[in-house]
Amino acid sequence: MTKTTERASIFKKIMGQYPTGVTIVTTMDENKNPVGLTVNSFASVSIDPLMVLWCIDKRSSALNAFLQGGKYAVHTLAVDQAEACWAFAGKEKDRFSKVQWETSSNGLPIIKDSLGIFECKTVNKIDAGDHFILLGEVIDLFVNEKEPLLYYNRNVAGIPADWPNQ
Ligand SMILES: Cc1cc2nc3c(=O)[nH]c(=O)nc-3n(C[C@H](O)[C@H](O)[C@H](O)COP(=O)(O)O)c2cc1C
């Protein structure tokens, strides 16, 4: 391996061992068709105002819809949404047939029964290597009382049974 590919491989290994939650981020394309993908680069940014960010691969088939749409919805996934996680991470064309969804008053595709939902307007698009960082200001948010889906080492699962209870 060249030094560059070796470093990339160590980078991926380290990130694969960094546990995260999982989200699905959605928007409407120019023909008002819903588009979305599974994302774990999601992070909270600011409380005042409420802001979040996530990163989209420049090769994503949904890239133009997200760059031009001006708004997006982040769904933090619950433990019973593993199937949706994989459906929105593959090459499947008809991802939205795998979930129950509706259009919000903000015109965004909302996946029902998600753990949490942030509807956002895009306030900055930052060119970052092979991704764009999409910084969003939260315009609406909802939460359900559910357990989260966790992602680690290319697998998803619920909270381990021995996780400490306070
Ligand atoms: C757990 C997980 C997290 C992912 N996180 C991201 C991410 O943060 N950004 C991204 O662009 N793709 C991410 N992906 C990959 C996309 O979901 C996947 O490449 C995309 O759905 C492929 O279809 P597309 O080319 O039509 O976008 C992730 C996949 C998985 C399984």
Predicted local distance difference test score (pLDDT) of residue 1: 67
How far apart CA 153 and CA 19 sit, in angstroms, is 8
Is the CB of 41 within 6 Å of ligand 1? yes
Alpha helices (runs of H) in the chain, residue ranges in sequence order: 3-16, 63-69, 82-87
12, 17, 40: residue to mutate for ligand 1 pocket, most atoms within 8 A of CB: 40
Q: Is 20 in the pocket of ligand 1 (CB under 6 A)?
A: no
d(CA 49, CA 46): 6
pLDDT digits (tens, 9 = 90+) for 76-130: 999 999 999 999 999 888 999 999 999 999 999 999 999 999 999 999 999 999 9
Given CATH 2.30.110.10, say whether it is the number of domain 21-152: yes
Is a pLDDT exceeding 90 seen at residue 31? yes
Q: Mean of the pLDDT values across residues 133-139?
A: 98
Would you say the CB of residue 60 lies under 6 angstroms from ligand 1? yes
State the average pLDDT for the chain.
96
Distance from residue 20's CA to the centre of ligand 1 (Å): 14
Q: Which of 15, 35, 38 to mutate to test the pocket of ligand 1 (most atoms within 8 A of CB)?
A: 38
Residue 166 CB neighbour total at 10 angstroms: 2
Residue 57: phi and psi, rounded to 5, are -60, 135
Alpha carbon separation from 21 to 75, 76, 77, 85, 155 (Å, rounded): 11, 7, 8, 11, 11
Q: How many helices (H) and strands (E) does the chain have?
A: 3, 12
Angle (nearest 5°) at CA 50 between 136 and 35: 30
Q: Tell me how far CA of residue 12 lies from CA of 85, 125, 149, 157, in angstroms.
A: 20, 24, 21, 20
Query: What's the gap in Å between 166 CA and the centre of ligand 1?
Result: 34
Q: Ligand 1 pocket check: which of 60, 93, 150 to mutate, most ligand atoms within 8 Å of Cβ?
A: 60
Q: Is pLDDT of 165 > 90? A: no
How confident is the model over 30-57, as a mean pLDDT? 98
Q: Could you tell me the distance, in angstroms and rounded to a whole number, from the CA of residue 137 to the centre of ligand 1?
A: 22
pLDDT digits (tens, 9 = 90+) for 6-15: 999 999 999 9
Give every CB contact of residue 39 below 8 A, 6+ residues apart in sequence: 22, 23, 24, 25, 54, 55, 56, 74
Give SS3 for 50: coil
Ligand 1 close to Cβ of residue 63 (< 6 A): no
